[in-house]
Chain A
C-alpha cells in the first residue's frame, strides 16, 4: 500500500475553505469571502422585516439606491427625527420588530384575514395598544376603535407589500416567544411588559425548536408565494443577543442556543430551497474572529461601524445600482411662504 499522499476532497477546496489561510493569518477587517450571492437583487423590489438588526439592512439598502419598498411611509409633516418613535422608516411597513418565525407567519395570516386572534387589544395605562406591535406609538391609543383603525390600515399595507415584493429580507431574531394559550397567537413582547397584564392561565412561554421554526418559515414562504409566486427570500440571523431569557439558563447560554437554532434553520432553508439565500451578518459581527469589535460597550447592540462593515461585505456581492445623477432639485417656495415675504416687505420695506 502506497504511503504517498492520496488525493482527497480537501485537495480541491479553495483557499477560503481553510482556517489558516482565511482567518488565522488575516487581519480581522480583511477577512474576505464571507458571502456568495445566490441570486441578484439589483433592480428587484425589496422589502424587509425582522428583529431590530433588519432595520440597519433596510436603511443601507435604501441609502445605496436599491428599490426598497415602504408601504407605510411617514407623512411629510412628521419630523424625521421622531419617525422611529412611531414605527416609520424602520421596515417596509409599520409592523415594528418581528422577532420570531411564528410572529412572521401570523403577521401574514392576520393580514390575509386567515387568522383573527381572540385578544386584539391590550390595556396600557389609560389607553390601549395593539398586542402585535405594542410599542408602535410612544403613547397608548385612547380608544379600542383607534387601535382597530390603525391596525386595519396597517394590515392592508402589509398585503400590498407582499403583493409587490420580489425579495423579502428577513432577520431571524429570537426563538423565545410568548403566546396565547387560547388560540396560539404569538406576541412580540411578553404580556405585561408594554401593555396587557401577565396571567399564567392565559399566556405561555415557548422556546421554538428547529423543526417548529423550519415549519413556520416553510409555511410562511408557501403562503407568500401564493400571493406572489416569484418572491424570493434573503435570511439573516440577528447578531444582537437576547436582552433576557425566560428559560432557566444563564442569558448567554440561552442566547447561544437560540442563535444556533436560528442559524441552523436559515442555513438549512438556504441549502434546500433555490429561492432562499442566507447572508452571514451574524458570523461577521458576533464570532470571535472579529474580536467583538463591532459591538457597543454593552456587548449587545451593534455599532454603526459594525453595520457599515457588514453591509460592505454585502455590497461586494450586490453592487448598488448605478445611481443616475438626479437633476439638482430647485425648491419652489410654497405660495404661503412667498406671501409671508410680501407681507413683510409691504409692512416694513427696507427696515
Chain B
C-alpha cells in the first residue's frame, strides 16, 4: 500500500512522528508512506493552483518547489492523506476576535451570526475543498488528517477570550467535517485522549520549540500516524 501525505506545516509533525516510529522499529511493513509538504498553510486560503479537471497544477511559487501538481503524476495509484482542511488557526488567531464574537458568546462585543461564521470558514477553505473535489473527480483515494486543536499557551489566548477561540475552532471543525462527510471523504481524527476537556489540545503534545504554539510534538506526530495506520488497515 503506497501512501502520500501532503499539506500544510503539520506534515512536519507527522514527519517527526515517522522518524520516531522508525527509530522504535515499529513501522508496519505493509505500508509504504511518503510525507511531502506543500508548505506553509498561510497560502492555502489563496488560489494556489489551477483546476485542470483531474489534477491541480500548483501555481503558488512557495509550494511549486516541493510539488508541481496534485495528484502527483508519477504516483497514479497512491492513496493521499491531506493535512489542510482543519487549519482553523488562520481564523481564530485574528485580534478582531477581541471586538467580534460568535453570537452565542456576545456580551458587549459585536455579534457574529452563525451564517457569517459559516461563510468565513467556507471562504477560508474554498480552495482546499476544491482541491479535494479534484481528487474525487479524478477518482483518487484521499483521506483527511485532522491537525491540532488550539494550544492554550498560544499567545492569542492572552488577548482573545479563550471560549471565543475554542468556539470558533469548534465551529470550523464541525463545518469542515460536515463538508467532508457530504463528499464521502474519510477523516483521521485526533484521538480523544489528546484533547483537553475544554476542547483545546492537551499540553502533553506541545511542540518542543518554545516559540511554536501551533504544532504538535513528535509524540503527537507518532500518535496521528498510528491513527492513520489503523485507518489504512481498516480501509
Contacts and interface: CB of A to CB of B under 8 A. Distances in A.
A binds B: yes
B13 A149 contact: no
B123 A82 contact: yes
Contacts of B211: 335, 338-339, 342
Contacts of A153: 110-111
Contacts of A343: 9-10, 12-13, 207, 212, 214-215
A343 to B, nearest CB: 4
Interface stretch (B39-47, B183-191, B197-205): B39-47
A77 interface: yes
B206 to A, nearest CB: 12
Interface in A42-73: 72
Interface string B13-57: 101100000000000000000001101111000000000000000
Contacts of A72: 110
B106 to A, nearest CB: 6
A75 B97 CA distance: 8
Contact of A336 (B89, B111, B113, B120): B89
Contacts of B106: 149
Interface string A130-161: 00000001110110001001100100000000
Contact of B37 (A137, A149, A337, A348): A348
Contacts of B214: 336, 339-340, 343
Interface string A85-107: 11000000000000000000000
B42 A340 contact: yes
Nearest to A148: B111
Contacts of B15: 347-348
Nearest to B168: A77
Contacts of B155: 335
A78 B37 contact: no
A104 to B, nearest CB: 24
A142 B37 contact: no
A338 B211 CA distance: 9
B213 interface: yes
Given A75-B112, A146-B111, A340 B103 contact: no
A166 to B, nearest CB: 25
A261 B123 CA distance: 44
Contacts of A338: 211
B2 interface: no
Given A82-B123, A347-B12, A339 B112 contact: no
Q: Interface residues of A: mostly helix, strand, loop or mixed?
A: helix
B116 A86 contact: yes
Given A75-B100, A340-B42, A342-B209, A139 B115 contact: yes
Contacts of A346: 12, 16, 209
B120 A78 contact: yes
Nearest to A333: B42
Given A149-B106, A347-B16, A339 B113 contact: no
Contacts of A341: 9, 40
B61 to A, nearest CB: 14
B12 A344 contact: yes
Interface string A101-134: 0000000000000000000000000000000000
A342 B13 contact: no
Given A75-B112, A335-B155, A347 B120 contact: no
Contact of A344 (B40, B110, B154): B40
A82 B96 contact: no
Nearest to B208: A346
A335 to B, nearest CB: 7
A82 B119 contact: yes
Contacts of B209: 339, 342, 346
Given A335-B155, A342-B212, A137 B116 contact: yes
Contacts of A146: 103, 111, 113
A351 B34 CA distance: 12
A341 B42 CA distance: 10
B137 interface: no
Contacts of A139: 113, 115
Contacts of A85: 119
B41 A340 contact: yes
Interface in A138-194: 138-139, 141-142, 146, 149-150, 153
Contacts of A150: 103, 111, 113
Contacts of B11: 344, 347
A334 interface: yes
Contacts of A81: 123
9 contacts: A75-B96, A76-B94, A77-B91, A137-B116, A146-B111, A333-B42, A338-B211, A340-B8, A344-B40
Interface of B: 8-13, 15-16, 36-37, 39-42, 66, 89, 91, 93-94, 96-97, 99-100, 103, 106, 110-116, 119-120, 123-124, 154-155, 207, 209, 211-215
Closest 4 CB pairs of A and B: A347-B12, A340-B9, A139-B115, A347-B15
Given A79-B123, A342-B209, A348-B15, 8 more contacts: A77-B91, A78-B120, A79-B120, A79-B124, A336-B154, A339-B207, A341-B40, A347-B16
